[in-house]
Chains A and B, each alone.
Chain A
Amino acid sequence: MERSSALDWRTAGPEHRAALQSFTCADPPRAVWDRHRREKIHERPWELTVQSHIRALRPALPSSENALLGFVDGDLASVVHFGWTDDGTQLLVLAIATEHEHRRAGLGRATLATTLDVLRSVRDDAAIGCGAFARIDRRNTPSARLFTAAGFVRLEPDREDTDLDYWVHDLL
Chain B
Amino acid sequence: MAATAGMTYRVTMTPDASLTRPDGSQAVGDDGLTDGERDSYATRYRATVARKTLTAVEKDVIERWLASRGAK
Contacts and interface: CB of A to CB of B under 8 A. Distances in A.
11 contacts: A26-B31, A31-B33, A49-B49, A52-B38, A55-B42, A85-B54, A92-B50, A94-B52, A131-B66, A160-B55, A170-B69
Given A30-B30, A30-B31, A161-B48, A49 B54 contact: no
Interface of B: 30-33, 37-39, 41-42, 44-46, 48-55, 57-58, 61-62, 65-66, 69
Given A53-B42, A131-B66, A87 B54 contact: yes
Contact of A31 (B31, B50, B55): B31
A119 interface: no
A22 B41 contact: no
B47 to A, nearest CB: 10
Contact of B52 (A24, A51, A92): A92
Interface residues of A, number: 45
A83 B52 CA distance: 8
A92 B51 CA distance: 9
Given A52-B38, A52-B45, A53-B41, A155 B65 contact: yes
A155 B49 contact: no
